[in-house]
């Protein structure tokens, strides 16, 4: 680790398509937070969830935010629970199919973390928490230790790689991008 670095950026290996602009946005948010008395210890990003399939996919992590864009919870399950819509339609799936605007309530977490150096050093010393083990999400360890996590909107959509199909989709996107760059040159 670089001893003089105040801000450490971690782009998860399964998120190769995160845009440089999104990384810059997250770093800028941390640069603002680092000087606040009760600033966030971690900054991460979110994207809109655009389909019921994505919402129900346990490989896509969901995040719930408070009114100040701080993480309240991360889960592999669809959260929030649209109780009244479920009552009207009989199940979460039916509610989402009949009221597609409900999707706007949900946020996909992306695998980018910007840490304050001191928080990252502490984080690595903490044992895995119970919630972290249950959900297989390390950011829950930070929340359980009282670390505030600021969550900013990503500039563009990214594609995480959790399955072989995801890997093939990303390879195709990279090939398309490479072809368009080659054609312009």
Domains of the chain (ranges; CATH) run 7-156 (3.90.550.10)
DSSP 15-70: -TT--HHHHHHHHHHHHHHTTSTT--SEEEEEEE---HHHHH-TTS-EEEE-TTSB
The tens digit of pLDDT for each residue in 85-116 reads: 999 999 988 999 999 999 999 999 998 999 99
The tens digit of pLDDT for each residue in 29-75 reads: 999 999 888 999 999 999 999 999 999 999 999 999 999 999 999 99
């Amino acid at each position: 680790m670089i001893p003089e670095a105040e801000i450490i950026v971690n782009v998860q290996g399964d998120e190769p398509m995160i845009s440089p602009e999104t990384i810059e946005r997250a770093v800028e948010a941390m640069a603002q937070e680092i000087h606040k008395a009760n600033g966030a210890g971690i900054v991460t990003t979110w994207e809109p969830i655009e389909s019921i399939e994505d919402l129900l996919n346990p490989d896509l992590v969901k995040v719930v935010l408070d009114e100040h864009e701080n993480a309240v919870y991360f889960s592999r399950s669809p959260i929030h629970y649209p109780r009244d819509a479920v009552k009207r339609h009989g199940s979460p799936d039916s509610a989402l199919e009949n009221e597609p605007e409900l999707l706007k309530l949900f946020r996909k977490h992306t695998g980018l973390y910007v840490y304050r150096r001191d928080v990252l050093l502490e984080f690595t010393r903490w044992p895995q928490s119970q919630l972290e083990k249950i959900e297989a999400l390390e950011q829950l360890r930070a929340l359980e230790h009282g670390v505030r996590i600021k969550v900013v909107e990503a500039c563009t959509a990214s594609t995480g790689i959790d399955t072989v199909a995801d890997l093939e989709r990303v390879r195709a996107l990279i090939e398309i991008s490479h072809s368009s760059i080659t054609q312009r040159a």
